Structure 1
């Protein structure tokens, strides 16, 4: 089913949109685009150039949707986003293919009914995966840096290279500081407190 002609009430059960409205790509300034897939698509090959222009713009507009990757199920809002009159937008939607080629209604986890597109959804899922992978890498890097700082303090306090390289001990010191001073930095004073507390 495609959203060539929109109506406010769906006439059949809707698929669930796989991306939560809580997910976001607020720093999303780069759109991964498969140029070969676009050039080979039936839409690109058969659409009127004007339809292709507005269709591509809908792909871009969906990047700022909530949930990300979706469009409002509202012709007037879509026309506004494309800087068109509602009449002009509806005229374009009567063409085959139309700017809404491939878009279909979905039910979102926030209860809204919106429009989704298989290719746009795939692009957004890939971008979200990259965001999560990057966040995990940054967290790992911060943890390694913090443990190096703790190791330096442990060595300065104890003079023991063995203790400064004891991963289990360093993680225990880190956990004690995180529990006692949530979000606090691993200062030498706090590392000393942790060593004394763990020794007891």
Structure 2
């Protein structure tokens, strides 16, 4: 791994898939593929000290920016794992050293180290995060529409049963930047829907 500190052409390096904006702050644990680790060359062929430092660096990467990466500076890496620099460098020169399978990558113009296992783990974590966010947004939208439907029905029962009208009014309120949907805003929204509906009807008649 000594080669990692040599100058490299950043344009030839693979691009790291995540940026500094990607965060997994709510994840306080790291999924670990136990069977894969038990049968890996790193565990079977690496020295105990190398395996320990390898595991440390994997954990440390999750708290760096971009998430999942490590700096390329060997002295910095040695400090991160509380190891003498020369000893750390010697360990990294072994076939299964602490930086086994860590490779340089292009992080938006900065050279850092990435590991395929960490990238895979992060990809799955961020995918779950986005999936949960989408589910929460869908649930919040459904609740908001239901509240709006009940409110509109208090003014006009048939209008409250009109899905298209309720969704249009909801979108209109959002576009107006309405925070609290009080009576005044609801009345204005219903009026806007009436104008919109009238224009549509006139357009249809004109087309026919």
Aligned match of 1:137: 135
SS for the counterpart of 1:114 is strand
Aligned match of 2:73: 74
Measure how far apart 1:8 and its partner are: 4.0
Measure how far apart 1:4 and its partner are: 5.0
Aligned match of 1:57: 56
Equivalent residue in structure 2 for 1:114, among 88, 107, 112: 112
Q: Normalised by the size of structure 1, how large is the TM-score?
A: 0.89
Q: Deviations over 1:16-65 (max 9, x none)?
A: 11223322222221212211111111101111111111101111111122
- Which of the two has higher C-alpha Rg? 2
Equivalent residue in structure 2 for 1:9, among 7, 10, 16: 7
Gaps of 5+ in 2: 196-208
Measure how far apart 1:7 and its partner are: 1.4
Q: Is it true that 1:155 corresponds to 2:150 in the alignment? A: no
Aligned-residue RMSD, C-alpha: 1.8
Q: Is it true that 1:24 corresponds to 2:19 in the alignment? A: no
Aligned match of 1:173: 169
Aligned match of 2:201: none
Q: Is the 8 A contact 1:106 1:115 kept in 2?
A: yes
Measure how far apart 1:70 and its partner are: 0.9
SS for the counterpart of 2:96 is coil
Measure how far apart 1:193 and its partner are: 1.8
Provide the rounded CA distance (Å) in 2 between the counterparts of 1:44 and 1:163.
66
Q: Is the 8 A contact 2:165 2:193 kept in 1?
A: no
Q: Is the 8 A contact 2:4 2:104 kept in 1?
A: no
Aligned match of 1:124: 122
Mean Cα deviation higher: 86-95 or 51-60: 86-95
Aligned match of 1:146: 144
SS for the counterpart of 1:107 is strand
Q: Is the 8 A contact 1:5 1:93 kept in 2?
A: no
Provide the rounded CA distance (Å) in 1 between the counterparts of 2:146 and 2:128.
27
Measure how far apart 1:11 and its partner are: 6.2
Provide the rounded CA distance (Å) in 1 between the counterparts of 2:181 and 2:48.
60
Q: Which has the higher contact order (CA 8 A, sep 6+)?
A: 1
Gaps of 5+ in 1: none
Q: Normalised by the size of structure 2, how large is the TM-score?
A: 0.86
Measure how far apart 1:95 and its partner are: 2.7
Q: Is the 8 A contact 1:147 1:170 kept in 2?
A: yes
Q: By percentage of residues, which structure has more helix?
A: 2
